[in-house]
A and B are shown apart, each in its own frame.
Chain A
Amino acid sequence: MESPNRLLLLTTALCATLLLSGCSLLRWPWFGKNKHVEQQQTEDQAAAEEEAEDSDSTPPRVIEPNVARRKIKTPKIDNENWEIGGGAGFVSIEDFGTSSTYAGQISYHVTEDFFFRADVGQSTAGKTSFETLGGDIELLTGNQRRFTYYSLSLGYNFLPGEVFLGRKLAMNSGFYLLGGIGSVKFAGDNRLTLNLGAGYRVLPNDWLAIHLGVQDRVFDSDVLGETKVTNNMEMLLSATVFF
């Protein structure tokens, strides 16, 4: 008999607790009425005091600033680190004589000292002395004589200077060194090349540059029977523009 009684008691207690706590959450009209009245009284008092104070001097006017803040748009700065151009020159293909070559180049100037450069070029190899002396002997077909190359290099600027033409004209100039890797397609085969070179650059104005450069493209060749290291010197006169 004890347990039902206890259950009833517990349930009542629980309900009461819930109800009471719920009541406190509600906004009862009588609750806090006095507080509101008190607050109003104090506010009235404060206003009266303020009025009393203001009556002595002229009421201060608050000036609302009606000026919109100017928004300054900063124009974008033109970065001119890329250099693109092309030129013509000569390439001496080992054992195959010297031929004219046409090349294109693109550079990205990273700092004032270093730049990346990519070169692409094409030439047609001449005849070996064996072919010239031997009469009708042809070692390579016309298509195989095409000497196509590209290289990816890192360049270093040094010896910056100026070139003076007459009294009034001074142009910036500088030497640079180049080194990199690339590939050459010659005699029907692709070969890995190492390239080393140097160049001289003159800038008639801010966006134009005239280059005179020499590069050696070194690769293993087995065109004439045995495999050997060949040095292929290239001399190029080119013009580039900065953008």
Chain B
Amino acid sequence: MEPSITTTRSRRLRRTRLGFVVLACFLSVSALAKQTEAEKAAKEQAAQEKLLQVFVSEPYLELSTGPGRGYPVFHVVEREASVDVLFRRTDWFKVRTEQGVEGYARARDMRRTKLADGTPFVFNLGDMAGFTTHNWEIGIGGGNYGGASLINAYGAYSLTDNMKVEVTLSQFLGNFSNGYKVEAGITHVMFPEWRISPFLELGTGIVYVEPRATIVLPEDRTDQTAYAGAGIRMYLTRRFFLRADYRWHTVFTSRDDNQELEEWKVLIACFF
């Protein structure tokens, strides 16, 4: 019967050994998991340090499921609690609460929160004050360029409230010729704090003209152009404004005479 005993023993032993191995594996895995968890927490901590933390100073802060007034409110953050600001989309801030709940808070409500040192959280709301002082503006529109239809897009950077550097991209489609032009110039807004403000502009660029095939001498050409102009900017609402201007162009052609062209256009633009 001895062999049987030894067999049982060995089986037991094997089982225990197996058990140990499994346990060791489990422990090592759990240790690894713990380690990764700890690392994750540390990483999150590090990531959080770069995020802006604001404190709710009103009775509560509402969080919506999406960045729009139509999305439902699903969570409220109580007074004195903090939230981390993840990012901003239009007039909504994606925030994370201390419990890890993420949602969108309205910019108007975020204006009433406070920073860690007790000072109010200040940011650009995109209102009339923003119309006066901002960094960038972009706009699209249409008009007329020497009798041809004009499609226009522009971007401008504000050096000061009055002075802006702008780049305009245009395409014109006429009965006799089509073409593109790229222009860069300086715009001087006379009264940036007014709702309706006149401005003056001056610049230069390149115009590429391709006469339509039906015309004799279908020769494409690229010429330098310069312009002087004036216009009006009108603040509409939120971040939008209308911009209408007239430009007097001189095209430095390779022919004997320079060509003079009139351009007017209306654009809808926004600032940010």
Q: How many residues of A contact B (CB 8 A)?
A: 40
- Measured CB to CB, the nearest residue on chain B to A72 is B117
Chain A residue, CB-CB nearest to B123: A77
Complex partner residue of B239 from A75, A77, A111, A153, CB under 8 angstroms? A111
| Contacting pair A109 B70 (CB below 8 A) | no
Please tell me if B71 contacts chain A, counting CB pairs below 8 Å: yes
Asked if B52 contacts A74 (CB within 8 A), the reply is yes
Whether the Cβ atoms of B51 and A192 lie closer than 8 Å is: no
B214 to chain A, nearest CB (A): 10
Q: How distant is the Cα of A79 from the Cα of B93 in the complex, in angstroms?
A: 9
Contact yes or no, B90 A172, CB < 8 A: no
User: In this assembly, does B116 line the interface, its C-beta being within 8 Å of a C-beta of chain A?
Assistant: yes
User: In whole angstroms, what is the CA distance A162 to B126 when docked?
Assistant: 27
Chain A stretch 125-157: residues in CB contact (< 8 A) with chain B: 152-154, 157
Q: Which residues of B contact A77 (CB under 8 A)?
A: 52, 85, 87-88, 93, 123
Chain A residue with the shortest CB-CB distance to B51:
A75
Residue of B nearest to A115 (CB): B90
Could you say which of A109, A112, A114, A170 has the most chain B C-beta atoms within 10 Å of its C-beta?
A112
Q: Is the CB of A80 within 8 A of B89?
A: yes
Contact of B151 among A157, A181, A242 (CB under 8 A): A181
Interface segment, one of B61-69, B158-166, B195-203: B61-69
Pick from B90, B153, B213: contact of A152, CB under 8 Å: B153
B123 touches A72 (CB 8 A): no
Q: Report Cα–Cα, A152/B87, bound state, in Å.
A: 27
User: Are the C-beta atoms of A79 and B66 separated by less than 8 Å?
Assistant: no
| Number of interchain pairs (Cβ within 8 Å) | 103
Most buried by A among B51, B89, B171: B89
Query: Is B94 close to A, CB under 8 A?
Result: yes
Chain B, interface residues (CB within 8 Å), range: 35 or more
Q: Which residues of A are found within 8 Å of B213, using beta-carbon distances? A: 188-189
Q: Mark B107-128 against chain A: 1 for CB-CB distance below 8 A, else 0.
A: 0000000011100000100100
B230, CB-defined interface residue at 8 Å? no
**Would you call A118 and B88 a contact (CB within 8 A)?**
no
Determine the distance from Cα of A109 to Cα of B126 in the docked complex, in whole angstroms. 13
Return chain B residues, CB-CB under 8 Å to A191: 173
Residues of A174-218 contacting chain B, CB below 8 A: 174, 180-183, 188-192, 203, 206
The 6 closest A-B pairs by CB, nearest first: A160-B70, A78-B87, A152-B140, A172-B66, A110-B270, A190-B178
B interface residue numbers (CB < 8 A to A):
50-52, 65-71, 85-94, 115-117, 123, 126, 138, 140, 142, 149, 151, 153, 171, 173, 178, 212-213, 238-240, 268, 270, 272
A-B residue pairs in contact (CB < 8 Å), sample of 30: A72-B115, A72-B116, A72-B117, A74-B115, A75-B50, A77-B85, A78-B87, A79-B89, A80-B87, A80-B88, A81-B89, A81-B272, A110-B240, A112-B67, A112-B90, A116-B140, A152-B140, A152-B153, A154-B140, A160-B66, A160-B69, A161-B70, A162-B65, A174-B70, A183-B171, A183-B173, A188-B213, A189-B212, A189-B213, A192-B151
Contacts A72-B115, A159-B70, A190-B173 given; 5 further ones with Cβ under 8 A? A116-B138, A118-B153, A162-B66, A172-B71, A174-B68
